[in-house]
Amino acid sequence: MRYSTDHKQQTREKLLASSGVLAKRGGFASTGVAELMKAIGLTGGAFYNHFPSKDDLFSEVVRRELCNSPFARLASQGADRERLRRCLKQYLSLAHLHNPEGGCPLPPLGVEIARAERPVREQAEHWLLELQAAWSETLGDERRAWALISQCVGALVVGRMLASEEVQQQVLDASRDVVEQALEED
């Protein structure tokens, strides 16, 4: 049976959305094509109607997740220091830490992006450079922008490694203090 172009596009969108959630929850490399397709109610064989390879899907997932991250919205809309402060406070929260599938893709996917083919890493680099440029403008300091990006992403990575919510909260609190100090400096 032949499906309409609309149906194929809708299926592709479902696959991308579902794959993003699964990748951020449990890792992309460890999730097979059959599992990715089963999540949207299809068989593994249908995958190749939408992507030539799993690597191509990962590239598109990374692009989509980066473009839809909280950092991307902040960069694209511009931000003064107060708006940046509010966003980073939300970013460095237990709610965000405990919701990898609904949050920033860098903490859960960063290692997989680092191991990916060059085009995926270039895509991530392009996005990070745009974010860094936007934050540099807000902060008036290029190096401080890189430090804040790294601090925020790193805090979530370390926090998610920990078993105790009490210690997770200590990591987030310490990181928020560092971020607050960086936002106060002129």
Q: How many CB atoms lie within 10 A of CB 29?
A: 13
Do 112 and 174 lie in a common domain? yes
Q: By residue range, what is the domain housing residue 21? A: 5-63
Q: CATH number of the domain that 127 lies in?
A: 1.10.357.10
Band the pLDDT of 147: cuts 50, 70, 90: very high
pTM: 0.86
Q: What is the mean pLDDT of the chain?
A: 90
Which pair of tokens denotes residue 46?
Answer: 């249908």
Do 107 and 158 lie in a common domain? yes
pLDDT tens digits for range 88-128? 999 999 999 999 998 899 999 999 999 999 999 999 999 99
Helix (H, G, I), strand (E, B) or coil at 143: helix
175, 146, 144: which is closest to 158 by C-alpha?
Answer: 175
Do 104 and 174 lie in a common domain? yes
pLDDT tens digits for range 63-75? 999 888 877 766 6
Band the pLDDT of 78: cuts 50, 70, 90: low
Do 93 and 180 lie in a common domain? yes
Residue 34, pLDDT > 90, answer no
Residue 1, pLDDT > 60, answer no
Which pair of tokens denotes residue 186?
Answer: 């002129």
d(CA 10, CA 4): 10
Do 15 and 45 lie in a common domain? yes
Q: How many CB atoms lie within 10 A of CB 48?
A: 11
Do 142 and 78 lie in a common domain? yes
Report which residue type is found at 49.
N
Do 46 and 86 lie in a common domain? no
d(CA 106, CA 100): 10
d(CA 11, CA 35): 15
Do 57 and 103 lie in a common domain? no
d(CA 128, CA 49): 31
% of the chain surpassing 70 pLDDT: 94
Do 57 and 110 lie in a common domain? no
